[in-house]
Amino acid sequence: MAPLAVAPGVTHWPGYLDAAEQVSLVDELREIARQAPFFTPRMPKTGKPFSVKMTNCGALGWVSDESGYRYQPDHPETGAPWPAMPARLLRAWEELAAYPHPPQACLINFYEPTARMGLHQDRDEQDFSAPVLSLSLGDTAVFRIGGTVRGGRTISLKLASGDALAFGGEARLAYHGIDRILAGSSSLLPQAGRINLTLRRVTKPSG
Ligand code: SIN
Ligand code: FE2
């Protein structure tokens, strides 16, 4: 399907992954989660747990705990390096990111039907010239995105299983979050819930 221009810098590709690609990606993610189990991130300082569970694949993974948000090359609980990024994710980046260097991190979020994510900016990367590319699997989410200042106007759109969304350029630091998950809207996953993959470039490419 043709991409939809949601707002300047925000592009939505409904149904980017077909049904068979979604199934095989879930299989690959199951193997990744065996090697790098989902963990519950905690808020900096307060240690309050997030409602989403996370893991990562790729050279770097995003983690959050009492000492802050950061990228690191190893799992915070097992100490093992993150598993490699599946080829289909690297291809999604090549096809959609319009950025000449590969992604370094893929954050894997699992949302139970009651989980949500408050409005925030993705700003722990050194390179904001690459977009953030997100892929959705499982139950549909109500996603919200606004401008680069907190408290401004926002719009919401539904992200269904197989959808891709990129925010870059003037939207790279846009506030965004997940209002809610529409439990039972997809039968891709064995349980209700949603997986979101966010691919990111972390460091500035050298040379
Ligand atoms: C995120 O901002 O990390 C996740 C967004 C999403 O779940 O679509
Ligand atoms: Fe984010």
Question: Which pLDDT belongs to residue 59?
Answer: 98
* Residue-wise pLDDT tens digits, 45-64: 999 999 999 999 999 999 99
120 CA closest ligand 1 atom index: 2
**Distance (Å, whole) CA 137 – CA 159:** 9
Domain formed by 4-200, architecture: Sandwich (2.60)
**Distance (Å, whole) CA 85 – CA 105:** 8
Give the residue, by CA position, lying nearest to ligand 1 atom 3: 198
143 CA closest ligand 1 atom index: 8
For residue 144, pLDDT beyond 80: yes
Report whether 155 contacts 189 (CB < 8 A).
Answer: no
Report whether 193 contacts 181 (CB < 8 A).
Answer: yes
132: Cβ contacts below 8 Å, ≥ 6 apart: 122, 166, 167, 168, 172, 198, 199, 200
Report whether 89 contacts 44 (CB < 8 A).
Answer: no
Q: What residue ranges do the domains of the chain occupy?
A: 4-200
141 CA closest ligand 1 atom index: 8
Q: What residues flank ligand 1, with Cβ below 6 Å?
A: 109, 117, 134, 141, 143, 159, 176, 178, 196, 198
For the segment 137-159, the average pLDDT, to the nearest whole number, is 96
